[in-house]
Structure 1
Amino acid sequence: MRNTFRFYKTPENRWYIDIPEWQDDIAALEMVLGADTMLDKVSNYTSECFVEMSDEPFEGADPIRLIENLQQSIGGGNYLMENFRGTPVNQEMWLCEVTEYVFKGLPEVIYVNVIQENN
């Protein structure tokens, strides 16, 4: 699966993934516990970014590796992004069950590339 997703930050400084077909509570789409910090970094501290993501490697992508599977407890998993575009960031993040929805499971590695940055 390879797709591009829009992430946006509200005036209240809360990051969300934009999934128009999402039918459940929008609160589940909020990026928290490190994912918000990662989005600040990769968006260059703006309020919107477009991220290409895949469970297969592709040119220009940085890996985010699963370090703790939490499917049996709170859902999702803890991931680590070691580098972003060649710069060490060592950003841990919890990616919730929305990750399972997007990827139809919990990938061991998610490959990401920011393809567009806006403010």
Structure 2
Amino acid sequence: MERTIRFYKNARHEWYADIPEWGGAIEDLQMVEGADELLNWIAASENECKLLMADQFIQNAEILALVYAREENLGGGGDYLLEQFRGEFKNHKIWLCGVTEFVFKHLPERIYFKELQ
């Protein structure tokens, strides 16, 4: 499955995913625990970016690898590792909440992503 998702910063410089069909609280769409740092790298000085994200291989994409699926009492979702970013070694840990499962209909072992202009 492939999906284009827009991410944006609010007035307090907090990152959020723009998922119109999400029926839950807006707070659930906030990007935290490493995902916000990744979006800062991608967007540089911009306040938004669009990513093509997929649970199957995409040519020239970055890769997030699932390390641990969290239980609901620990926030759900999964802990992912970004080993490299734009050819640089990062070993960056990211938590993606249960909204990830809502988007992909499962918690992917790998998430491939690349920025769309």
- Structure 1 Cα separation of the partners of residues 96 and 112 of structure 2: 14
**Residue 82 of structure 1: SS of its match in structure 2?**
strand
The answer to which of 69-78 and 51-60 deviates more is 69-78
**Percent of pairs with identical residues:** 45
Q: Deviations over 1:55-77 (max 9, x none)?
A: 00111111100111104542001
2:18 maps to a residue whose letter is D
Instruction: Say yes or no: does 1:33 pair with 2:33.
Output: yes
Question: Under a length normalisation based on structure 2, what TM-score does the superposition of the two structures give?
Answer: 0.93
**Residue 57 of structure 1: SS of its match in structure 2?**
coil
**Residue 31 of structure 1: SS of its match in structure 2?**
coil
What is the aligned-residue RMSD (CA, Å)? 1.1
Unaligned stretches of 5+ in structure 2?
A: none
The answer (yes or no) to whether the contact 1:55–1:107 under 8 Å persists in 2 is yes
- Structure 2 Cα separation of the partners of residues 17 and 23 of structure 1: 13
In structure 2, the partner of 1:86 is: 87
**Residue 81 of structure 1: SS of its match in structure 2?**
strand
Question: Under a length normalisation based on structure 1, what TM-score does the superposition of the two structures give?
Answer: 0.92
Structure 1 ranges of 4+ moved more than 6 A: none
